[in-house]
Structure 1
């Protein structure tokens, strides 16, 4: 029997060389652990914030992805997709097992650094991978996943997201949230941005568009070709897209040089007039938001209604009822949304509100719209009821975008409170100091207060956390005040 004295318990000395030393060494050594099956957010000061409260299984822990290289072979008539995904990542801890997010589809093989790994499917979208030997902390590694099947979209409050296919016609991966996991294995959190390269092999009669720039189009056997697109700026999974179809492609010269690429479904070529206004829209937005932050520009115009514009990085996706306002929003999203992105899904309204407000700025400049009048009319229509109930900082699972109208009103109220000079410094500055980064409402509040040198606490609380109509002091600041 070993007698322990309390003050001696932490000690592990050479005198305990037989049994006690070995036990103490094993306990002290850092052991490989299992990566969490949800992305764990940590504040800059090291405080553990936990997983996304809306979608706690989205994303994964234990590693950081730097690049996705996706090779797809698609059969439009059968809608069968064959895929090979190479994910390059760095372990952020000693790692004995880790997960990727992949919904549906059949996984045929997994290797880690070229060595076969065991794997299994768990829950709705977890691909659990155990490498042949544990990964050391800070080790760079490559995971290769072979898979196939018929991808299926996901039903959300906004409509279907993910892989949308019509047999014999187009297949488009689009929408948010969750869309990426329907067509490739991914660390499905907005907080882990990575570069993306997608190569699609398909019949010659079909063309392909994706994020970034097309870097090759080569023959792939009788009647087939492989088209590769690459995005050099790290992107959030919800801004990934790919489109396979008989697209009509337009190349448009941009102000100051460069070319934008718009693609149209044959039944959506009537939207060419809208897409053709992209140079005008870009010139306007760079005047308000600063230099365009992405590597490419353009859009994909579909023959179906999406219910909203998907602000995919470099190539927003528009439904058949697209308008110029949609084009302005989708382009502004390249700064606010694809550029600076929320940290969790409860932060989705932060970039959304400012991207939507860009449409108000367009209407003000191009259409002579009286924005104060529009604001007052919308406030009057909202009344005192449910319109004001959702918190902008935390609207609720499945309602990430529901209070968008309230959020846009907040942006205009902020503009009138601080004045145009400081407002546009905020609107252009916040994305520019967070290029391809992730920020939340608290980060924005601190930045806005720093720029304006004002205590905005009461305004922020009334608008961002309030569940009732703000008091007149915060509802009608500056020129919004209806009283003479």
Structure 2
């Protein structure tokens, strides 16, 4: 079926009859965008996918995003969202048209560099056709106005992501595909950008304000009497799956780490008693991790502790990990370790998720070792012999090669990924191992990296041939006969 081309608001005002509408749609389908400075022949469509083996339709080609400015109006009582996304990007080819990932919602208008643009929708792809082709190397701004009831996505394992209603508001969780349910973008981790997220929410029926928490630092607060507006800014690059907005009632706690990094913790009142240690643990864990992994990579740290116990997972949303309920200490360690491994150093492809989860899992082992618990060696052995409660299924596939999109967060990526790191540590020695971790977070600070780059770095820093270690523990299908 031919996809329907939709005109922007100013063009729609000229429609006076069904016949005129049909004629315009036909004309839009057959006509090409005007070009200035770039020939129609050289301008081509950007790819409608990010060329990722596990998620081929996520992400888009032809441009790199540098900044998202999201202005959202949300009504918790009706779960209605109205948004304007202004996306600043640089073209990597002469673009006749380009795509954003967007699931659900209704697009009302679109513009490129302030000029109305035609657009089309097909499943989770939004295609913009600028009036003038965008030239290779040109920095441009695309603006999309949209509204509707944002979707919640159910994954194959039953977990949910996207825009999720809570008992007193909502939260937005993006891994791996959920961010496209609340804003259009290039939703692949290889295209990181900075963010301004402004959210306006009406007060509840009793006149009480909702809290709005997001990534980065709170830059502006407004209370008009009937509604509240919060503007959050994340000045460090962020993969879109790490973006978060939490709307609800929270107790806010502020503080500082020993390195003067501001701490912002928002706790749902229903979790306040069980989460009373969180505000003290976050700076303690951040300081400890800084000694192990290198300086904390962002300008603030914190957490959101919500009351959504049926969610069943936490997420390392940038600067403020999200927890569905009061977390245990090791889970806090895991999600905060992700600020180094996954958030600052972000995988180039989804198959490299072990660089996130294996590292964060090993951080749990190191914390226990450093704080009077089991040693990393003892935990390693319990994973190997299957007595550890999280060891089930770790031999199903190699952690560096998940066989499908639904398995990027399965146990081999976590447990066997951590076992790989432990074997590297035992082979190169503690001094070299922690030099490797600090070099990794420094060399790829706020960048993307992959498994091959980590293996090469290990070889360079240790001056050892680690081929057999990585082949046995990271890429082999079989359980090693000798731990």
Q: Distance in 2 between matches of 1:163 and 1:126?
A: 18
Partner residue, 2:15: none
Give the one of 343, 365, 370 matched to 2:370. Answer: 365
1:6 is aligned to none
Residue number among 211, 236, 240 corresponding to 1:237 in the alignment: 240
Match of 1:251 in 2: 254
Name 1:440's counterpart in structure 2.
450
Q: Structure 2 vs 1, CA of residues 280 and 100 (structure 1 numbering), >3 Å: closer, same or farther?
A: same
* 1:342 counterpart (310, 332, 347): 347
2:463 to 453, 459, 467: 453
Q: Which residue of 2 aligns with 1:394?
A: 401
Q: CA deviation at 1:338?
A: 0.2
Tell me the equivalent position of 1:142. 141
Q: Equivalents in 1 of 2:415, 2:261: separation in Å?
A: 35
- Write the distance in 1 (CA, Å) between the matches of 2:318 and 2:303: 10
Q: Where does 1:71-470 land on structure 2 (aligned, <5 Å)? A: 71-123=71-123, 125-156=124-155, 157=157, 159-166=159-166, 169-204=168-203, 205-219=209-223, 221-270=224-273, 271-305=275-309, 306-381=311-386, 387-396=394-403, 397-402=405-410, 403=412, 404-470=414-480
Give TM-score, length-normalised by structure 2.
0.86
Separation (CA, whole Å) in 2 of partners of 1:89 and 1:29? 21
Compare 54-63 and 314-323 and name the one that shifted more. Answer: 314-323
Please tell me whether the aligned partners of residues 354 and 427 of structure 1 are also in contact (alpha carbons under 8 angstroms): no
Q: Distance in 2 between matches of 1:337 and 1:309?
A: 14
1:315 deviates by 0.8
Give the Cα–Cα distance (whole angstroms) in 2 for the partners of residues 274 and 109 of structure 1: 43
Q: Which residue of 1 aligns with 2:3?
A: none
- Contact 1:115–1:132 at 8 Å: present in 2 too? yes
Per-residue deviation, 1:148: 0.5
- Please give the alpha-carbon distance, in whole angstroms, between the structure 1 residues aligned to 2:104 and 2:93: 28
CA distance in 1 between counterparts of 2:313 and 2:237 reads: 24
The equivalent of 1:31 in structure 2 is 42
Q: Which runs of 4+ in 1 moved over 4 A?
A: 382-386
Q: Secondary structure at the match of 1:250?
A: strand
Deviations 1:167-194 (A, max 9, x none): 6x12111241112111100101111000
State how far apart, in whole Å, the 2-side matches of 1:465 and 1:158 are: 28
- Structure 2: segments with no counterpart, 5+ residues: 1-38, 204-208
Instruction: Provide the secondary structure at the position in 2 that maps to 1:444.
Output: helix
Q: What's the CA shift for 1:254?
A: 1.6
- 1:440 to 1:217, Cα distance in 2 relative to 1, 3 A: same
| 1:32 positional shift | 0.3
Does the CA contact (< 8 Å) of 2:153 and 2:162 recur in 1?
yes
Deviation digits for residues 240-282 of structure 1 (CA, Å, limit 9, x no counterpart): 1111111110112221323200001121112131232111111
Greater Cα offset, 323-332 or 268-277: 268-277
- The Cα shift of 1:347 comes to 0.7
User: What is the CA deviation profile of residues 227-249 of structure 1, one whole-angstrom value per residue up to 9, with x for unaligned ones?
Assistant: 10000001011111111111110
Instruction: Report SS of the residue matched to 1:410.
Output: helix
How well do the aligned residues superpose, as a CA RMSD in angstroms? 1.8
State which drifts further: 395-404 or 184-193.
Answer: 395-404
Deviation at 1:385, TM superposition (A): 9.7
Indicate if the aligned counterparts of 1:293 and 1:339 stay in contact, CA closer than 8 A.
Answer: yes
Instruction: Quote the Cα distance in structure 1 between the aligned partners of 2:387 and 2:53.
Output: 29
Q: Secondary structure at the match of 2:141?
A: strand
Task: Give the drift of 1:463.
Answer: 1.4
Kept in 2, the 8 Å contact 1:158–1:307? The answer is: no
| TM-score, with structure 1 as normaliser | 0.86
- Aligned residue for 1:13? none
Quick check: 1:68–1:196 contact (8 Å CA) kept in 2?
yes
C-alpha displacement of 1:465: 1.2
